[in-house]
Structure formats: structure tokens, C-alpha cells
Amino acid sequence: MKVFISILFTLFLMDLPCAGEGYILSKPKPKSKNSCTIFRGKFTVSDQIEYRYGIVAGQNIATIKSKKSSSQDILTGFMGGVAFQVVWPKGFAVQPEVLYSQKGCLFTGSGVRYDIDYVEVPVKVMYRLHLAEIKPFVFAAPYGAYAIRLKQQGEVISDDVLSDQINKLDVGIGAGAGFDIWKVQLSFRYSWGFAQVLDETFPVRNKVFTISAGILF
């Protein structure tokens, strides 16, 4: 009987795992790096790109730069339209806009006033800093514009005469700064036109300082 009990006890001990084996079986499998990435919800750069759109409006303080005519005065005009913004990681962003922009000049010597309305498409290339809720930025903004209306001395000039008196196409570049706070964007920009504006024998180009505000969703 004692021999039988001894054999049963020996078989029971043989079925038990050793301490080391028990530890290995009870230890959960370590997660691979890939599984950690999925669990923690990390994304690729494309997943972190932010898209925003909205409206912008402001005021132009415009003149026409001429080397041979210094007797000029500024004109103020409306600027407004729509904007679309793409924000990448590390603070870089691109913001194209489609604007209705009023520019022009008053030649004080002769009393001749030109009001020129453009459809303008600037593309802001921005670098933004993240400082709590305020995101200041600087930008460069090449643009193209097309004149759709000319007023001389307050009278609208017909389209045929418009083509004879001014160059409808204008291109240039702007530079400025501003900040985003919540969904509101405020910015300041100065633009230099490269194209000849008026049909004159000397260079006449647009120069505009713009103050604008926008709401981007």
C-alpha cells in the first residue's frame, strides 16, 4: 500500500511544472513595436495635416509707385474673399485665397484719380509658432491679379477703354505677419507689383498695404 501511494505521489509531482516554467507560462507575451504603435494611436505625417477654410476681409491702403511722379496720394479700398489653409507639422502652412481687391492711386499734381478693382489670388507660404492659444506667423505671398473695373475721376471706364489704358494682368509678391487665435486670423501684408499698370512711358506699379481679418473653420 505504501509503495502504491509513493508511486501516485511521484506521478503527481511529475505533472507539476517547475517554478521557472510556471513563470514563463504565466508571463504575458511582450508587445512588438508595431503593436505598441497601433495601441498608442500614433499617425503618419499625412494623418496630421490640418485643413481649414473660411472668409477674409480687410482694407487696402494703395498707391501706384512711379519713379518719375512723386506727387501721389494713397487710396483706401475694400478687400475680401475666401481662403483655404493647409497646415503641416512643424509649423508650415500654405493658404491660397481668392479676393476682390480695390487698388489705385491719386496723382495730386494733376488731380487724376484711378480706382482699379482686381480679382486677386495670393498664395501665402507661412511659418507658424505654437504659443498656447496664440499662433503667430510670418509669410511670403506671391500673387496674380486681373483687373475687372477701372474708374477714372469716379466714372467707370468701359471694358474697351479699360484694355487700352491699363494692363489688366498684374503679378507681384507680398510679405507680412499675423497670428491665429482660435478660429480668428489677423494679418498685415505689404505687396509689390511687378507689372506695368498704366499705359505710360515710365514704370507705374501697384504698391499696397493690407490689413485683414478672417474666420477659418
Q: What is the CATH number of the domain that holds 113?
A: 2.40.160.20
Q: Is 136 helix (H, G, I), strand (E, B) or coil?
A: strand
Do 122 and 30 fall within a single domain? no
pLDDT of residue 203: 74
Mean pLDDT value across residues 105-131: 89
- Residue 35 and residue 109 in one domain: no
Determine the residue type at 75: L
Same domain, 122 and 153: yes
Backbone angles phi, psi at 167, to 5 degrees: -85, 115
pLDDT tens figures, 31-48: 444 433 333 444 455 568
Digit-coded pLDDT (tens) for 47-96: 689 999 999 999 999 988 776 655 578 899 999 999 999 999 888 999 99
Looking at the structure, do residues 29 and 101 belong to the same domain, yes or no?
no
| 178 in the same domain as 86 | yes
Instruction: Please spell the DSSP secondary structure of 12-54, one letter per residue.
Output: HHHHSPPHHHHHHHHSPPPPPHHHHHHHHT---GGGG-EEEEE
Instruction: Residue 118: give the domain boundaries.
Output: 49-216
Asked if 89 and 26 sit in the same domain, the reply is no
Average pLDDT taken over every residue of the chain: 81
Q: Domain count of the chain?
A: 2
Does residue 62 share a domain with residue 26? no
Same domain, 140 and 100: yes
Q: Is the same domain home to 145 and 80?
A: yes
Residue 200 — pLDDT band, cuts 50, 70, 90? low
**One domain, residues 116 and 16:** no
Whether residues 25 and 56 share a domain: the answer is: no
pLDDT band at 112 (very low <50, low <70, confident <90, very high): confident
Residues 33 and 57 in one domain: no
